[in-house]
C-alpha cells in the first residue's frame, strides 16, 4: 500500500509552534498576539489562509505578504520547539515500514521538511508535497502528484489518505483512495463522523490493525 499522511494534527501536535510563528507574524505587522486556541481554529488550509483569518483580511491582501516572511523564517528557525508526536504516530510509522510512506500537507513544503528533519524521520518518507507545490487539499492534486513521484501503479484504493480533517478526507475521496480520519487533531470526532470516510480512528495506534484486514 501507499500510505499518505497529513502532518499537523495527524502525525504531530504542532499547535503551539504554529501559534508562536503566527504571533511573530502578527507582531511584525503591528498586530497583537492571539491565543493558541484561537489560532488553532485557523489551521488546515495553508499559511495564507491562516494569516487571512488571523489578520481578518482577504488572502490576497498585501498585508499577508508582509506577515508571511517573518512567519516562515521563524518556523524554519524553530520547527519543533514545542512539537510532539500525536498518540500512536511514531509507532504506526514504524509498523508501516513495509509500505510506501508519503506526506501530503497544506503546510509549506520547506517547513514540513524542516520538521521531518528535526524529528529525524525524513528518510522514512518516499516523497513529501506541501502548500506551494500545487492546489491545496481537499483538491486531490497532491495525492496524484505523490503517486506519480513514487511510480505507484496499484489500484487507487491501495492508496490510503490518512488525516485529521475534512481537507484530507476530501482529497482522498477525490483521488479515489481509501480514506482514514483520525480524531484528536484539529477537528472533533463528531465533525469527522459527518464525512464519508472509510475508517474513523480515535488515534493512529489503531492504524496497524487495519493493515491486517
Task: Please check whether residue 82 is in contact with residue 20, taking contact to mean a CB–CB distance below 8 angstroms.
Answer: yes
Task: Please check whether residue 68 is in contact with residue 48, taking contact to mean a CB–CB distance below 8 angstroms.
Answer: yes
Within 8 A by CB and 6+ apart from 210, the residues are 180, 199
Task: Please check whether residue 7 is in contact with residue 105, taking contact to mean a CB–CB distance below 8 angstroms.
Answer: yes
> CA 78 to CA 197: how far, in whole Å?
34
Is position 6 annotated as part of the catalytic site?
A: yes
CB count within 10 Å of CB 146 equals: 24
> CA 7 to CA 137: how far, in whole Å?
12
Within 8 A by CB and 6+ apart from 209, the residues are none
Task: Please check whether residue 119 is in contact with residue 103, taking contact to mean a CB–CB distance below 8 angstroms.
Answer: no
The residues that are catalytic are 6
Amino acid at each position: 500500500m501507499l500510505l499518505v499522511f497529513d502532518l499537523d494534527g495527524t502525525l504531530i501536535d504542532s499547535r503551539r509552534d504554529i501559534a508562536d510563528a503566527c504571533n511573530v507574524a502578527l507582531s511584525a505587522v503591528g498586530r497583537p498576539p492571539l491565543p493558541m486556541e484561537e489560532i488553532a481554529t485557523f489551521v488546515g488550509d495553508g499559511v495564507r489562509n491562516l494569516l487571512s483569518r488571523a489578520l481578518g483580511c482577504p488572502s490576497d491582501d498585501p498585508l499577508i505578504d508582509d506577515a508571511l516572511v517573518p512567519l516562515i523564517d521563524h518556523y524554519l528557525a524553530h520547527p519543533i520547539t514545542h512539537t510532539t508526536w500525536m498518540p500512536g504516530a511514531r509507532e504506526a510509522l514504524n509498523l508501516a515500514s513495509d509500505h510506501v510512506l508519503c506526506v501530503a500537507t497544506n503546510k509549506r513544503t520547506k517547513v514540513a521538511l524542516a520538521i521531518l528533519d528535526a524529528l529525524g524521520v525524513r528518510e522514512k518518507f518516499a516523497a513529501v508535497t506541501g502548500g506551494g507545490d500545487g492546489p491545496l487539499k481537499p483538491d486531490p492534486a497532491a495525492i496524484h502528484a505523490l503517486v506519480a513521484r513514487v511510480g505507484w501503479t496499484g489500484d487507487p484504493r491501495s492508496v490510503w489518505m490518512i488525516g485529521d480533517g475534512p481537507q484530507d478526507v476530501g482529497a482522498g475521496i477525490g483521488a479515489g483512495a481509501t480514506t482514514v480520519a483520525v480524531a484528536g487533531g484539529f477537528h472533533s470526532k463528531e465533525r469527522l463522523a459527518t464525512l464519508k470516510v472509510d475508517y474513523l480512528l480515535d488515534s493512529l495506534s489503531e492504524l496497524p490493525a487495519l493493515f491486517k484486514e
